[in-house]
Structure 1
Amino acid sequence: MIIPTEPIGSIPRPQYLVEALQRQAGVDELAGLQERAVAETIAAFAETGSPVVTDGEQSKPSFATYPLAGFGALAPDGVVIPFEDGHTRQLPRLTAGPFRYQTYADQYFTAARRHTDRPIKQPVIAASAVSLIYPADELDGYSRDAFVEDLVDEAAADIRRSLDAGADSVQIDFTEGRLSLKLDPSGGLLRSFVELNNRVLDRFTPEERQRIGVHTCPGGDQDSAHSLDVDYAGLLPSLFELRAGRFFVQMASEENPSAALAVIRDHAKPEHRVFIGVIDPINPAVETPETVRDRILLAAEYIPADRLGTCDDCGFSPFADDTSTSRDIAFAKIAARVSGTKLAEDMLN
């Protein structure tokens, strides 16, 4: 029995790329530096022994906004996401339709494939996250229903293009799931998010959905989270109503992992592979392989080992300007995850 282990997505950008972004380097120079950063990131993944890699999202402005870059009908004053340390992130606001993605994730996969033959996982943003750009007041000439129809088409195309390009799997980033319960404790917003994302997932066959995963976490940006204080028990039952085959669930930073694992045991379906977070990206201390092993053995008390996988809780740098974690620490943590997963695998076998 093999316990699969995978990264979530983002890796801190090298300093030369951060500086180039800060000084707004020209298009050609920036493209060359991003290509270099992708190559270095994939090489560093290989050194950890990671069986699955990503491009580290080196070329994305952020995990959430990459489809929007260059779209003209946007204003900067959209939904504000507050983090526990007081900093915020703000989404743009749609001002007119029709809505179309400007960038699809398969272009990142294609760029990464030039540098490795290893399986590549391609993260994409959830339709539910992008839906937050539509304003509270309906736009003249472009109804919310029309926007949602366009959004479902675009989000499904984003996944389809990556699968067709050869991605080993596609991971839908659903960090807004737990946050929705802070915005709307009744759960109505969460239910609408699940319904919307299932409209996208229904575009795929059951076999294809086994290659599509959903990632949930309480956010991780500048060493802070946005919804870690929200009870996981409110999210997890709805999470497993999503018609995906794989689930990547933050757990290393969870205060009471046993309680959360019990909810997963009760709600995950037999066809689900559950990847448990065993690395906390916003904690600067590097986990030991033994710590990772023990977290996996705890999870195996609740989830059958043949349906278990491991991952990091979140990406290490989901926004391009987040320099709170160094690349060295990120890859040391990834190496610990790979080694610790092997230790647990040997014990469970």
Structure 2
Amino acid sequence: MLRPLSTQIVGSYAKPHWLGRHERIHHLDGSWWRPEADVLEEAKQDAALLAIYEQERAGLDIVTDGEAQRVAYDRHFLASLSGIDMMDAEKQAYVSEVETRKRNAEVAEMMEHFQLNPKIVGPIEWVRSSAAKDLEFLVAHARRPVKVNVVGPLTLLDRLADHHYGNPRDAAMALAGAINKEMLALEKLGPAVIQIDEPAFHFKLSRAREFGVELLTRLVEGLSTPVIVHACYGYSLYAESKTANPTYHEVAEIIAASPVQGMSLEYEQPGHGPELLKHTGDKHVLIGLVNLGSREIETAEHVATRLRAALEVVPAERLHPCTDCGMWFLPRAVAYGKIRALVEGTKLVKDQLG
């Protein structure tokens, strides 16, 4: 369900510090969670209810559970796969084709554990759903259409050390087959949109060029729910800057050449303009119109001005105001202010369009 100018966030909403230790988001030992085991499920659900409530109170058209019931958007899905050794992680230096990450004390612990990669030790198969229980809760409690996020295979491969397949394409295709089964299971629960989170389409562009369309084609086999691919610059929390990358338009072109229904692009903090949108083909386009690298809350008029310019390239039927990537680390008051500005700015444009 992608109605004209549908407002939404990328996926995560502000995660309370009483729920998790933010510096441990990449830990593999469960030490992210603060609540004791006997109250953890209740705490997760309370945080999800808070995220749903605030998105609906702000007036977003499509809502998520804020990813409150998972630690991280990517490794959350490893527990549902066979062929992965979670206990014997291998440290690998993170090498990106787009280097935007800070190297300072603030994020030292995050980055140290980000480089600990579980191993692929055998054939990858989907065993059970990682997100179905969370989605059931979201559908039961949301009063608006919902979106569910799954990690993309190229990004998940980037978080693993391959000791089985021997080449990136074969490993990524195996992951795509497993994630497709996850998506088919989630589709039965009735989400309006399924989003594939694929920052590696940007960070590992050479692989996306080589077999990105093939991966996306495998991912959506048998699906009828609209599928969006999100490709970003990484979290603002550990981004020194997000200067517009001259190759980012290629990411849009790769997604545009695939059978998915749309793409989600980081737009505000990098300072992209309508020129980027000329590379999106006939797909639905979600563009970030609030900057998560700043605690300053945008005005509705700022959002409206940026949106009007984008409408010169993409018609309202295929354009959807969104946030930039990942709000989990923001103070809740800031996160709420930003999504409220997104809604109010979009309303200004809708009123103008009639």
Aligned to 2:130: 104
Query: Aligned partners of 2:279, 2:116: CA distance in 1, in Å?
Result: 32
- Give me the CA root mean square deviation: 2.7
Query: Aligned partners of 2:274, 2:173: CA distance in 1, in Å?
Result: 40
Give the 3 Å change call, closer, same or farther, for CA 345–21 of structure 1 in structure 2.
farther
- Give the drift of 1:62: 0.3
Give the 3 Å change call, closer, same or farther, for CA 258–52 of structure 1 in structure 2.
closer
- Give the drift of 1:339: 1.0
Q: Deviations over 1:223-248 (max 9, x none)?
A: 52687553223322222122211221
Matched, 1:216 2:234: no
- Give the drift of 1:217: 1.3
Structure 2 gaps of 5+ residues are 22-29
Partner secondary structure for residue 60 of structure 2 = coil
Please say if residues 327 and 335 of structure 2, whose CA atoms lie closer than 8 Å, have aligned partners that are also in contact. yes
1:286 to 297, 310, 324: 297
Aligned to 2:27: none
Q: Deviations over 1:208-263 (max 9, x none)?
A: 15x11111211114252687553223322222122211221111123341332333
Aligned to 2:25: none
Please say if residues 89 and 119 of structure 2, whose CA atoms lie closer than 8 Å, have aligned partners that are also in contact. no
- Per the normalisation by structure 1, the TM-score is 0.84
Matched, 1:126 2:146: no
Structure 1 gaps of 5+ residues are 182-186, 318-322
- Per the normalisation by structure 2, the TM-score is 0.83
Query: Aligned partners of 1:64, 1:4: CA distance in 2, in Å?
Result: 25
Question: Could you tell me which amino acid in structure 2 is paired with residue 28 of structure 1?
Answer: D
Matched, 1:18 2:28: no
Partner secondary structure for residue 159 of structure 1 = helix
Aligned to 2:326: 315
The range that moved more, 73-82 or 41-50, is 73-82
Matched, 1:85 2:85: no
Aligned length: 326
Give the 3 Å change call, closer, same or farther, for CA 23–166 of structure 1 in structure 2.
closer
Aligned to 1:200: 219
Give the 3 Å change call, closer, same or farther, for CA 177–291 of structure 1 in structure 2.
same
Give the 3 Å change call, closer, same or farther, for CA 240–96 of structure 1 in structure 2.
same
Please say if residues 223 and 283 of structure 1, whose CA atoms lie closer than 8 Å, have aligned partners that are also in contact. no
2:258 to 242, 257, 264: 242
Give the 3 Å change call, closer, same or farther, for CA 246–22 of structure 1 in structure 2.
closer
Percent identity, please. Answer: 23
2:196 to 172, 175, 178: 172
Q: Deviations over 1:252-308 (max 9, x none)?
A: 1233413323333xxx12xx2112211122221111111110010010111122222
Query: Aligned partners of 2:175, 2:32: CA distance in 1, in Å?
Result: 31
Aligned to 1:320: none
Partner secondary structure for residue 112 of structure 1 = helix
Q: Deviations over 1:105-139 (max 9, x none)?
A: 22211122232232110011111112235536x53
- Give the drift of 1:179: 0.8
